[in-house]
Structure 1
Amino acid sequence: MASSYLLTGSYSSEKEPGIKLWEFEDTTGELTELMGIAGIERPSFIAVHPNGTSFVAASEVGNGELVSYWIQPAAKKIVEINRQSSNGDHPAHVTIDETGQWLLTVTYSGATVNVYPLHADGAIGELAASVMHEGSGPNPDRQDAAHPHSVIQVPGKNLFLVSDLGTDTISTYKLDANTGTLTLKYKVKTEAGAGPRHLSFHPEKPLVYSLNEINSTLLVYKISQDGQLEFLQLLPLVPDSYTGENTSAEITVSSDGLFVYASNRGHDSIASFAVQENGTLENIGLTSSGGEGPRHFTLIPGNVWMVVANENSHTLVVLKIVGSGAPCTVENTIQTTAPVCVKVIK
């Protein structure tokens, strides 16, 4: 039977095993916990090295840390390598570039975008470069200052898009592969009060799908060769009839480029869309996330299964994706403390 290995991060205490290793059985959708590692507080977001032998987790606290680990999934081993300061409060996202040589992070409360070298053994080097965001937005509770929420590489290029929830902007930065320096190339504004959070790229077409957390919408952009975004479409992520609280969280494109998925916290659902020939989206429905507060999710290679981290119900839920492209059936539910990130080990 074929299986995959997964890592999860959580909003757990330092004394709990906040990072866990799982085995996923591709035929049945069975999810089995193999081990966990403690010693890091609120290890929220995880980035797996392209070689699959190490990963970095962000300790999302004030004056946070970035922690690197060596991993050997088959042997059920995770060993800490080293730690570095996150250069700002509440590091919310980490990305390892395609070469495996650079670690990029954002601090939500510190408003910094940071670059660190990664050594051959997976250790994080000293801070190489940093950019600080400034500004605010119309929502006084959420947009009092700049809040960069993610930094994600444009596939195949030394370009990175930073979504800033506080300033309603998506910035394109060029990374100098020799020094780690970031140069701002472009900046686009979303709707006022939208709160851009995460985004995902189409695997073949020059398209970006961006999720707005605060107003629960999805933006479709065309992206140029040098990283400039051009607006194509705006869609709601929850029905007009829904009157409750909601913040949207994660977005991803299936590896075959046929579908886009986004999660809603409050409505507690996964929104599914079919990708049209021109890259715009057609809504194919909303289905339950199988729990409360779906902060993050991942697609298992093959696009038959989705694993959802439901933070508020303390569950990992395995959803099976049917022929229509929508994740319709709950196949498995596992209790685990406040999961907020789930990543496949490549």
Structure 2
Amino acid sequence: MGTSYILTGSYASEIEPGIKLWEFEKSTGELTELTSIGGIERPSFLAIHPNGTSFVATSEVGNGELVSYWIHPTTKKMMEINRQPSNGDHPAHVTIDETGNWLLSVTYSGATINVHPLLADGAIGELAFSTKHEGSGPNSDRQDAAHPHSIIQVPDRNLFLVSDLGTDTITTYKLNTADGKLTHQHTVQTEAGAGPRHLSFHPTRPFVYSVNELNSTLMVYKISRDGQLEFLQLVPLVPDSYEGENTSAEIAVSSDGKFVYASNRGHDSIASFAVQANGTLENLGLASSGGEGPRHFGLISGNDWLIVANENSHTLTALKMGRAGTPCTVENIIQTTAPVCVKVIK
């Protein structure tokens, strides 16, 4: 079956080992901690460089930071390279473009979208470009202002989609790879009060799957060559009979494009869907996340395992996938401080 390597981010304090590197054994579902590193407050979201040996973490605090690291390919030890200010409070998401030359980030409380160059040694350069979102939404508690929650590249294109939880919008930007400037292309409005958070792309077809945090729904879009989104479908992520609190968090498409998964915090479940020929989804049901508050998860290559970061129960869980493409058993549970991000290196 082989071995995979996984990085996890967390809401650990600066004095704790907040970023950890794990070895995952595919035959057994066993997770083994290899090394860790501290010195960063709430290293929540991680982005892996295309070279597979360096990455960037967000320090998700007020007046936060972006921090770059290097992983030794043999010893697996991690070393900090450098830091840059995040240009806004609470950097919530970061991505490295496919060339490995540009780092793009969003600040949830600062409402900024930022671009930094990545230098040859993996260091983060000084801010190259920034723009700011304005607006609000109908949910006065969560949508008092713009809150960009993620920035994700359209595969094989210099286009990036920003999901803004505060304004109920998904905006397409084009990256100038010469100077790092972003140019606005399109904006689509979601359902009022939906709170778009993260999204994921079909690997071979022009479909985008977006998870809405506030109303616990999933939206399906078709995407044009220039990044314009066309709405196709809206599906609920929790049963109508569920009366508790819930916020949906992460979404991912399997590498073969057959399935879509999304996480529910409160209901504490993973929702599974089968992708139809026209890109829309068929509901396959819900499975336990194996813990409380599944904020993020990662699919292991081969689509046989799903690793969930359950923030509130302080656990990583390895869910074995069944033949129908849905999580069916919790094979392993590991205690670790407030995990909130799972990134599979290989």
* TM-score normalised according to structure 2 size: 0.99
Please give the secondary structure, in 1, of the residue aligned with 2:61.
coil
Residue 279 of structure 1: aligned partner: 279
Distance in 1 (alpha carbons) for counterparts of 2:2 and 2:72: 18
Residue 266 of structure 2: aligned partner: 266
How far apart are 1:27 and its partner, in Å?
1.2
Code of the aligned partner of 1:70? W
How far apart are 1:336 and its partner, in Å?
0.2
Code of the aligned partner of 1:307? I
Residues 195, 213 of structure 1: 8 Å contact kept: yes
Within-5 A mapping of 1:66-215: 66-215=66-215
Code of the aligned partner of 1:50? P
Distance in 2 (alpha carbons) for counterparts of 1:232 and 1:4: 35
Which whole-Å deviations, capped at 9, do the CAs of 1:127-148 have from their partners, x for residues lacking one?
A: 0000100000000000000000
Code of the aligned partner of 2:156? G
Distance in 2 (alpha carbons) for counterparts of 1:264 and 1:15: 30
Within-5 A mapping of 1:36-75: 36-75=36-75
Please give the secondary structure, in 1, of the residue aligned with 2:255.
coil
Residues 315, 338 of structure 1: 8 Å contact kept: yes
Flag structure 2 segments of 5+ consecutive residues without an equivalent: none
How far apart are 1:345 and its partner, in Å?
1.1
Code of the aligned partner of 2:118? L
How far apart are 1:271 and its partner, in Å?
0.1
Q: How many residues align?
A: 346
Residue 289 of structure 1: aligned partner: 289
Residue 252 of structure 1: aligned partner: 252
How far apart are 1:28 and its partner, in Å?
1.1
Which whole-Å deviations, capped at 9, do the CAs of 1:196-238 have from their partners, x for residues lacking one?
A: 0000000011000000000000000000000000000000000
Which whole-Å deviations, capped at 9, do the CAs of 1:43-68 have from their partners, x for residues lacking one?
A: 00000000101000000000000000
Residue 11 of structure 2: aligned partner: 11
Within-5 A mapping of 1:330-341: 330-341=330-341
Q: 2:294 matched to 1:300?
A: no
- Identity of paired residues, percent? 80
How far apart are 1:73 and its partner, in Å?
5.0
Code of the aligned partner of 1:115? V
Please give the secondary structure, in 1, of the residue aligned with 2:92.
strand
Distance in 2 (alpha carbons) for counterparts of 1:185 and 1:342: 30
How far apart are 1:36 and its partner, in Å?
1.0
Please give the secondary structure, in 2, of the residue aligned with 1:249.
strand
How far apart are 1:251 and its partner, in Å?
0.1
Distance in 1 (alpha carbons) for counterparts of 2:68 and 2:18: 14
Distance in 2 (alpha carbons) for counterparts of 1:131 and 1:95: 16
Residue 310 of structure 1: aligned partner: 310
Within-5 A mapping of 1:22-37: 22-37=22-37
Distance in 2 (alpha carbons) for counterparts of 1:307 and 1:146: 31
Would you identify which runs of 4 or more consecutive aligned residues in structure 1 move more than 6 Å? none
Distance in 1 (alpha carbons) for counterparts of 2:78 and 2:290: 29
Code of the aligned partner of 2:236? P
Residues 137, 168 of structure 1: 8 Å contact kept: yes
Code of the aligned partner of 2:116? Y
Distance in 1 (alpha carbons) for counterparts of 2:270 and 2:236: 12
Distance in 2 (alpha carbons) for counterparts of 1:76 and 1:182: 35
How far apart are 1:74 and its partner, in Å?
3.8
Which whole-Å deviations, capped at 9, do the CAs of 1:175-194 have from their partners, x for residues lacking one?
A: 00000000000000000000
Code of the aligned partner of 1:49? H
Query: Aligned-residue CA RMSD in angstroms?
Result: 0.6
Residues 21, 73 of structure 1: 8 Å contact kept: no
* TM-score normalised according to structure 1 size: 0.99
How far apart are 1:72 and its partner, in Å?
2.2
Residues 5, 73 of structure 1: 8 Å contact kept: no
Which whole-Å deviations, capped at 9, do the CAs of 1:73-117 have from their partners, x for residues lacking one?
A: 541210000000000000000000000000000000000000000
Q: 2:312 matched to 1:326?
A: no
Please give the secondary structure, in 2, of the residue aligned with 1:28.
coil
Please give the secondary structure, in 1, of the residue aligned with 2:220.
strand
